[in-house]
Amino acid sequence: MRIGILGSGFIGGPLGRLWAGAGHEVMFSSRHPEKLVKLAEQAGSKAKTGTIEEAAEFGDVIMEAVPFLSIPDLPSDLLAGKVVLSAANYYPSRDGHIELGGKTQSEWVASHLPGAKLVKAFNMMRAGEIERRANGEPFDPLAVFLASDDAEARTVAEQLVREAKFEPVFVGRLADSAVFQATSAPLYDVQISPDEARRRLAIHS
């Protein structure tokens, strides 16, 4: 796959390194791509850098990992029709007041990316766990919850979660994703085994 990483910070950086290591072509992007040269070197020969627009165009699959309040600024026309994994979390204390209009956070993201095949992914996982895997350090098997309205996007995301050395646990549609959204849902910010994840999901869904 060609994967465009939008926002190459704590989440986008190590995920891009893992996927480049798994053999995918990766473009890291930010508003200042010149700052990403070291990251791309660390990721190996499959990785390069670009602007947000270049990565949006480059990727067949996109990893969205910019601040929540920046999502309306993304080039949505370039993302239409693509599978977009979104790690977005809304923290009012950090992002300020945003009117979600009764939507889940991921439905709100999808409303700003019309035509994109959105998957909520990695939002409930701590960046340090991703970094550990990217660094080749030992790790415990951990679940990553997913939600999507699109079957193709689900399949792609499940593969990429496994290639990032986590286990995917599918929750349901974007409308069902409140159960693992920030900041206080029962399945948010939980670092648990796939079995424990399925047990807790059965209780809370």
Ligand X SMILES: NC(=O)c1ccc[n+]([C@@H]2O[C@H](COP(=O)([O-])OP(=O)(O)OC[C@H]3O[C@@H](n4cnc5c(N)ncnc54)[C@H](OP(=O)(O)O)[C@@H]3O)[C@@H](O)[C@H]2O)c1
Binding site for ligand X (CB under 6 A): 7-12, 30-32, 35, 52, 65-68, 70, 73, 87-89, 122-123, 125-127
CB-wise, 127 or 202, nearer to ligand X?
127
Contact 96, 69 (CB under 8 A): yes
Kindly state the smallest distance separating residue 69's Cβ from ligand X, in Å.
8
Specify burial of residue 31 (Cβ count, 10 A radius: 0-12, 13-18, 19+). Answer: exposed
Nearer to ligand X, 87 or 161 (CB): 87
Tokens of 164: 């990032």
166: Cβ contacts below 8 Å, ≥ 6 apart: 125, 129, 133, 141, 142, 143, 144
Least CB distance from residue 68 to ligand X, whole Å? 5
CB 60 to ligand X: min, Å: 20
Which residues are paired to 76 by β-bridges? none
Nearer to ligand X, 31 or 199 (CB): 31
CB of 134 to ligand X, least distance (A): 13
Tokens of residue 151, six digits? 């079957």
SS3 46: coil
Of 65 and 83, CB closest to ligand X: 65
